[in-house]
Amino acid sequence: MTKIFVMYTGGTIGMITDYETGVLKPFTFEQIIENVPELRRMDYELTIHSFESIIDSSDMTPEIYATLAELIRDNYDNHDGFVILHGSDTMAFTASALSFMLENLSKPVIFTGSQLPISAVRTDAKENFITALEIASAKVDGRSRVPEVCIYFENKLFRGNRTFKYNSAKFEAFRSPNYPVLVEAGVHIKYNDAAVLKSDGAKLKVHTNLSNAIAVLKLYPGISAQIIDAVLNSDAQAIIMETFGAGNTTTAKWFLDKLKNAIAGGKIILDISQCKVGSVEMGRYQTSSELKKMGVMNGYDMTFEAAVTKLMYLLGRNYPKDRLLRRLSTSLRGELTKN
């Protein structure tokens, strides 16, 4: 019998309406099972771990990421796959973080949740949960068919570190515009095997030391020197700079000088685009050529969520700076595509 380890962290999927106040409040995993009687007909042995204090995804932290990674490590050998029930708002951050923390993963770790509570008549929770379990159990020649960290939502399975939440009002809450869908679930479940990361069978390594010494500099026309200074002169070791288009910034000398001084002072600056589709192409335009010369790092087509959690992971490894910079612009878990 296929053994799946299910972690219930919280989120809308496990909420029920308090009819006195109209407010959504959490209920137990046992009540989730009651609302999905189909689970009793599935040939899976489910091990359930429910967090004692249910966590709204807005309250997720690197410490909770570490707890999830440790639970996977401790139950890895005795289970065929893992399903994590999680609030959708920061699901892409948690999935991205775990993709870096779980090195040499050879079993599925699938995040799912819902836009409506599982107790709602029109809920999307049942299909999301049931299909996530089915994909987590899928094997070919005795090996897991999707051995990576993924997000399953509204009939599609995405690579976790390629995904972001784009809609809070539709069941189709997530998108992955820079990488193909891994699985589409209709009448039949269709696997895009060519897009799935392959496992080499190496032993799982779990990394739980993360650093949040990261700042974000989102550029906009007319941004002031004072705002730039507040970010560049912060205690952050690394700064994610969200630029325009293919990685461009203002050409103002004062701005470029501030970036140069920050890099000379030891700051890591990672260039990712504010555009959701496409990639940073450093050197395509004059402005990004200047950034490349001064040592700004190319984030290519990484999502913001992947950029944040990849830096958390790399800073937490305490690499020498030259090695950290090489790995920052290298695809470690399929999170970026180089031009």
Encode pLDDT of 187-238 as tens digits. Answer: 899 999 999 999 988 999 999 999 999 999 999 999 999 999 999 999 999 9
Residue 125, pLDDT score: 76
Mean pLDDT of 303-310: 98
The b-or-e profile of 195-221 (16+ CB within 10 A means b, else e) is ebbeeeeeeeebebebbeebbebebee
Q: Place 88 in a pLDDT band, splitting at 50, 70 and 90.
A: confident
User: What is the chain's percent helix, strand, coil content, to nearest 5?
Assistant: 35, 25, 45
Q: Place 298 in a pLDDT band, splitting at 50, 70 and 90.
A: very high
**Distance of alpha carbon 218 from alpha carbon 210, whole angstroms:** 23
Q: Which residues are catalytic?
A: 12
Which of 60-74, 229-243, 258-272, 282-296 has the weakest average pLDDT? 282-296
User: Please, what are the domains in the chain?
Assistant: 2-206 (3.40.50.1170), 214-328 (3.40.50.40)
**250 exposure class (CB count in 10 Å sphere: 0-12, 13-18, 19+):** middle
Mean pLDDT of 39-59: 83
Kindly calculate the radius of gyration of the chain based on its CA atoms and give it in whole angstroms. 21
How many CA atoms does the CB half-sphere of 164 hold within 13 Å?
Answer: 17
Mean pLDDT of 61-89: 95
pLDDT tens digits for range 103-129: 999 999 999 988 777 767 777 778 889
Residue 50, pLDDT score: 84
Mean pLDDT of 1-21: 80
**H/E run at residue 129:** helix 125-137
pLDDT tens digits for range 150-179: 999 989 999 999 999 988 877 888 999 999
Tokens of 28: 């137990």
**Distance of alpha carbon 8 from alpha carbon 55, whole angstroms:** 9
Percent of the chain with pLDDT over 90: 69
pLDDT higher than 70, residue 29 = no
| Contact (CB, 8 A) for 262 and 238 | no
Which of 103, 115, 195 is CA-nearest to residue 158?
Answer: 195
**Distance of alpha carbon 61 from alpha carbon 40, whole angstroms:** 33
pLDDT tens digits for range 230-278: 999 999 999 999 999 999 999 999 999 999 999 999 999 999 999 999 9
Residue 139, pLDDT score: 93
Mean predicted lDDT score pLDDT of the chain: 90
Instruction: Provide the 3-class DSSP secondary structure of residue 263.
Output: helix
Q: Provide the terminal-to-terminal Cα distance of the chain, rounded to the nearest Å.
A: 44
Residue 138, pLDDT score: 94
How many residues are listed for the chain in this entry? Answer: 339
| Contact (CB, 8 A) for 145 and 174 | no
State CA 177 to chain mean position distance: 14
pLDDT higher than 90, residue 91 = yes
| Contact (CB, 8 A) for 69 and 206 | yes
pTM score: 0.93
pLDDT higher than 90, residue 52 = no
Residue 297, pLDDT score: 96
Instruction: Provide the 3-class DSSP secondary structure of residue 17.
Output: strand
pLDDT higher than 80, residue 310 = yes
**Cβ neighbours around 240 below 10 Å, total:** 24
Q: Place 34 in a pLDDT band, splitting at 50, 70 and 90.
A: confident
Residue 73, pLDDT score: 97
